[in-house]
Amino acid sequence: MTVRRHRFSARNSFSDRLPPAVLFATVWLVLPNLVFVPLWFVGGPPRPLAIMIYVLVGLAGRMLPIWAVAALLLAAFGFDVILVVSGIFNLAPTSILHAIRFLPDLRIFESNQYLILTILVGVVFVTILSAISQYRHRLRRASAVPALLSAGLLMTGDHLINVNPEQEFGRYLSPTAPFHSAMGGSGLRERLISPTGRNLVMVMVESMGHLENPDHHRLLTERFRHAGLRRRYQVEVGYAPFYGSTTSAELRELCGRWATFDEFLDEPDRNCLPARLSAAGYRTVSVHGFTGNLFDRRRWYPNIGFQELRFAEEMYEPGDRICDGVFAGLCDIDVADHVAALLDRTQDRPHFIHWLTLNTHLPVIHRSDRRRLQCEDADTPLDVVMVCAMTELWIELFDSIIDIALTERPRPTDFLIVGDHAPPFWIRRSKAMFVSGQVPWILLRDRRTMADGNIAAARAED
């Protein structure tokens, strides 16, 4: 009697027993989307086009050598990552491409999310290439119809679950859409059209959305109930809509319209507030604790009227603290000292200072030495640690602004504090803590007049 020995090998695996059409769908639909579909459960951005692109790469790969398939697959993953990151940060994909050249300035892997995403993409990429190499013949003769139909269903589900009204609003927004801003809602824009010689400091706070819970929001606004501050300033609060990223928010407030920064790269726009104030005798200054090269701010800031640019390159001195994170730069509370120094020199003519903060870019690095809200304690008023850590940083920033505001200077100075956009959290629970499509603003309107300070109004011909 002859005993036949059955050999077990890779070719006797579960994958070998799959029908070719199912194998094709597994390799070109299931595997690449394993990285991104889990975001459905926490609140990822829609990516229907990327879902279909993988299947199309699989179809094209039947006729191409393995190296060409690898190149197409790598491009598809790159497109998908750009789509996801741009969706999370409310950026146009072209803006992400524009920022890629500044990757050396960023510390991407300070973020666990980006590190995990990179590892997963790498593992899936290698797995798909291995499957293509091993099952090349079966994949070539497989029907793609089940994969195409399944991709259509997946795209529909992706849209229904993940579509964001604010993203759709921004995508289709036209220059004629109803426009609102903190500068307009506070009445500052109208008052500054005919400058009175008062300083204005506009502080645009990174990722400061409108906290939905009134008690949480009060943690921020209560800083401005300080009795001494109320004697010196009239405190007003309000809300403005947002769409897009930080640069869109800057143009919302500085140029009074919905726009993207690439519209200002080549031609000056004299209708923007800094340009109008500059023509009226103001000194217009921008302040930001990161490099001025990111999003070409060095190029378009002068085109909207800024005379003096103060980025990390201009402000940094040996020994200055650097706050960690993906966007590592000068600490906001130290940049506050530079803003104070600028205000100290305003005896000769009024200043308009646009201060763009930095440290609450996600992910926020929580430090145990910050104990304002006891973020790691069970009884913290904000039960999401990263939201709590961001709020602590905002409070720390507000205390620095209040210190600047209470310093005696002869020239009256107004302070407008406004968020750029809501925090681009990956987690739906964290997103839900903020009012959709809204940012808060706080105005400290100096009660003094120019006569009180015994200062002559700035001359338009200055």
* Sheet of 308-310, strands arranged across: 233-241, 438-446, 413-419, 199-205, 351-356, 283-288, 308-310
Domain with CATH 3.40.720.10 in the chain: 174-453
* Assigned token pair, 332: 């906001």
Q: Which of 323, 419, 428, 423 is nearest to 369 (CA)?
A: 323
pLDDT, position 190: 74
Residue 97: name the closest of 78, 116, 72 by CA: 78
Task: Output the pTM of the full model.
Answer: 0.78
Token pair for 447: 């009660």
What's the sign of the alpha-carbon dihedral 115, 117, 122, 126? positive
Q: Is 103 helix (H, G, I), strand (E, B) or coil?
A: helix
The 3-class secondary structure across 158-225, one letter per residue, is: HHHHHCCHHHHHHHHCCCCCCCCCHHHHCCHHHHHHCCCCCEEEEEEECCCCCECCHHHHHHHHHHHH
Pairing of strands 308-310, 283-288: parallel
Residue 131's contacts (CB-CB under 8 Å, 6 or more residues apart) are: 15, 27, 31, 139
> What integer pLDDT is reported at residue 95 of this predicted model?
64
The CATH code that applies to domain 174-453 is: 3.40.720.10
Q: For each of the chain's 462 residues, which pLDDT tens digit applies? A: 444 444 444 445 555 677 888 899 999 999 998 888 777 766 667 888 888 999 999 999 888 898 999 999 999 988 888 877 777 666 666 666 666 666 656 556 556 667 777 888 889 899 999 998 888 888 888 888 988 999 888 888 887 777 665 544 444 445 555 678 999 888 887 777 655 688 999 999 999 999 999 988 888 888 898 888 999 999 999 999 988 889 999 999 999 988 888 889 988 999 999 999 999 899 999 999 999 988 889 999 999 999 999 999 999 888 888 887 778 889 999 999 999 999 998 778 899 999 999 999 877 766 655 566 777 766 667 777 888 888 989 999 999 999 999 999 989 999 999 999 988 887 778 888 899 889 999 999 999 876 554 443 333 333
- How far, in Å, CA of 423 to CA of 206, rounded? 8
pLDDT value of residue 384 = 78
Which residues, 6+ apart, have CB-to-CB distance to 48 below 8 Å?
155, 156, 158, 159
Strand bridging mode 438-446 / 233-241: antiparallel
197 vs 130: CA distance, rounded Å: 69
Look at strands 329-330 and 438-446 and give their pairing.
unpaired
Contacts of 56 (CB under 8 A, 6+ apart): none
Residue 370, pLDDT score? 58
Burial status of residue 17 (CB atoms within 10 A of its CB: 0-12, 13-18, 19 or more): exposed
CA separation, residue 459 to residues 18, 141, 357, 434 (Å): 81, 80, 31, 43
What's 460's DSSP letter? T
pLDDT of residue 105: 61
pLDDT value of position 243:
81
Alpha carbon distance 32, 26 (integer Å): 9
Q: What pLDDT is attached to residue 347?
A: 77
| Cα–Cα–Cα angle for 452, 454, 459, rounded to 5 degrees | 115
